[in-house]
Amino acid sequence: MLKIAELCVTLHGILEKSLIRMKKIKTTYLLIAILLGLTACTKTDDTTVTLYDDAAIGSFTLGNVKRVVNGVKSTVAGSTYAFHIDQMTRTIYNTDSLPVGCDVSRVVCSIATYNNSGAFLISEDETTMTYYNGTDSIDFTKPRKFRVIASSGNGYNDYTIKVNVHKQDPEAFVWKKMSNAPTMTALRIIEFGEHIYLFGNEGGTTKGYKTANGEEWTPITLPALTQADAWENAVANSDSLYILDGTAIYRSSDAQTWTKDESTLPDGITLKRLLGASTTEVYAQATDGSLVTKYCDDELPIWVEAKDETESSFGELPTEDLTIVSYPMYLSDSTDYVLMAGNKFDGNEWSSRSWRRIVDYSETGIISLLKQYIATIIQDEDSYPEWIRKWTYLDRGNDHRYELPALKNVQIVWYDDVLLAFGGKGLTETIEPMTGILKSRDNGITWKADNDYAMPPKDGESIFDLSTSSFSAAVCNGYIWIVCADTGEVWRGQLNRVAWEK
């Protein structure tokens, strides 16, 4: 224990040692800080205090922050943004950035230290430092350093504090023109892993490429394909790429090595094209127009013919511009919602058609039950129970309000927990190709235009070329990707908040 008078002399020496690199010290503030710290120390009698070796920041909190967005002023409670303290690197930062427009050039903060160690703000040029009392505003537009000195004088630690502020509006949807992809007369893109894969007709032959960033397109190895339109039949589930070439199906987990898929088809069924996939299934259309499902399980190498829930003849299936999108079903673990849409000519005009399938691939779901079922019966396709085959037609009846319009080459993606759709020209009304995005919040039953989403710009420095005859869209790593044939244009769209989360 030290007497207070002795302690002051001792601390003066400590400060001189810890601040020896500083050119100038505001001594008055330092003495005040020391005396304030002493009053909070644990007293053993009227003239002695206990000193500690701790020199650390225990918590950091921002005060209110002024914000201006489009001329509108407001205040953000900085205390609602948690700051992470990394004691190993002595860095402090907020993982959730403050909203765009926040002014952090004059902000008050609260700093709590361990065992009365003192916190001192180091000037930006590191020539002076001042005891921080929690009332002076600080410029946090750049990282700031604090020095924390132990009350015992046995050392200090320097901390760097960084206040992160969004530079962009998290709710803004923006497009960026990327490097052109190889030019093709027709194409299809799909997401697989962390890449976007491009399949298309290049010089009368199916070629494939991939990209992770939209700046470089790398050729992939394809099997010895015989059909120029094999590109139309490329799909991907959670672990494999598939491509149909004539009657042969090839499968790859890396787009380099391909093996022939020998899954058994129902008697009399020949595949016409692959349509899409969910986590554990692949969907195809047979030459007779029916739907079939492949279960992507090595123990279950079969295709099963689909069955309509209403026991119809699938007369309302779309016949043109078929597209399939699969996404996790809300609040249901290991379950996919699969939406199929496209167009059909009913004798008078074109109109859209939508179907859905729900796939439970949990340990007690369809795959597990199908294995048990096949283990107990002879594999007779007519014996498959209805729940294995089921698709449901989303019948709107005579209510055509907010239905998906019949769009040439319609594209549907799942993004930010909603469905987004766009396409080429309208088949029944005057709709300019690729000019608007429709949104569905109810799994494809109703569709409405949404101003939060827009197609790439038609003016400005980067102009979206509407002359393309073929295009394809997919979602990967928080971005919406559009690749156009003929022009090779590639556009990457993002809702800032979604892209940041990825």
d(CA 242, CA 255): 9
Specify the pairing of strand 411-415 against strand 102-103.
unpaired
Amino acid sitting at position 45:
D
**25 pLDDT higher than 50:** no
**Sequence-distant (≥ 6) Cβ neighbours of residue 219 within 8 angstroms:** 207, 208, 209
Contact in structure between 207 and 222 (CB atoms under 8 Å): yes
**pLDDT above 90 for 344:** yes
Helices (H) and strands (E) in the chain, counts: 5, 38
Task: Quick: pLDDT tens for 308-323.
Answer: 655 566 788 899 999 9
The values of phi and psi at residue 381, to 5°, are -55, -30
Nearest to 219 by CA among 171, 167, 182: 182
- The per-residue pLDDT for 463 is 66
Percent of the chain whose predicted confidence (pLDDT) is above 90: 57
Tokens of 47: 């003239």
**Confidence band of 467 (pLDDT split at 50, 70, 90):** low
Q: Environment class of residue 140 by beta-carbon count within 10 Å: exposed (0-12), middle (13-18) or buried (19+)? A: buried
What is the DSSP-derived secondary structure letter of residue 127?
Answer: S
In our burial notation (b when 16+ CB lie closer than 10 A, e otherwise), range 297-310 reads beebebbbbbbbee
Q: Which residue has the tokens 């330092």?
A: 30
Using 50, 70 and 90 to split pLDDT, how confident is the model at 374? low
Q: With a threshold of 0.85, does the pTM exceed it? A: no
Hey, what amino acid is at 434? Answer: M
Whether the per-residue pLDDT at 449 is higher than 60: the answer is: yes
- Where is average pLDDT lowest: 140-144, 147-151, 152-156? 152-156
Assign 56 to helix, strand or coil: coil
Report the mean per-residue pLDDT for the chain. Answer: 85
| Euclidean distance between CA atoms 121 and 161, whole angstroms | 11
Give the pLDDT band of residue 363 (cuts 50, 70, 90).
confident
pLDDT of residue 378: 44
Residue-level pLDDT at 400: 81
pLDDT of 330: 81
| pLDDT band, residue 490 (cuts 50/70/90) | very high
Residue-level pLDDT at 333: 85
Q: What per-residue confidence (pLDDT) applies to 434? A: 76
Which region, left, alpha or beta, applies to residue 457 given φ > 0 means left and ψ of -120 to 50 means alpha? beta
CA–CA distance from 229 to each of 199, 246, 257, 273, 291 (Å)?
Answer: 10, 9, 21, 10, 20
- The rounded percent of the chain whose pLDDT value lies above 70 is 83
The reported pLDDT for the residue numbered 43 is 47
Query: Which is higher by pLDDT, 112 or 391?
Result: 112
pLDDT, position 178: 93
The model's pLDDT over 236-279, given as tens digits with 9 standing for 90+, comes to 999 999 999 999 999 999 999 999 998 888 888 899 999 999 99
Q: How far apart are CA 411 and CA 407, in angstroms?
A: 9
At position 405, the amino acid (one-letter code) is P
- Residues near 493 by beta carbon (within 8 Å), at least 6 away in sequence: 173, 174, 175, 176, 456, 479, 480, 481, 482
Question: Residue 302's pLDDT is what?
Answer: 83
- pLDDT single digits (tens) 63-116: 999 999 888 999 999 999 999 999 999 999 999 999 999 999 999 999 999 998
**DSSP symbols for 197-264:** EEEEEETTEEEEEEESSSS--EE--------TTGGGGEEE-SS-EEEEETTEEEEESSSSS-EE--PB
> Considering only CA atoms, which of 30, 39, 171, 149 is closest in space to residue 99?
171
| Cβ atoms 111, 132 nearer than 8 A | yes
Q: What is the pLDDT of residue 35?
A: 45
Mean pLDDT of 193-213: 95
Q: What is the pLDDT of residue 140?
A: 97
- The least confident of 25-29, 100-104, 381-385, 485-489 is 25-29
In tens, the pLDDT along 34-65 reads 544 544 444 445 556 688 999 999 999 999 99
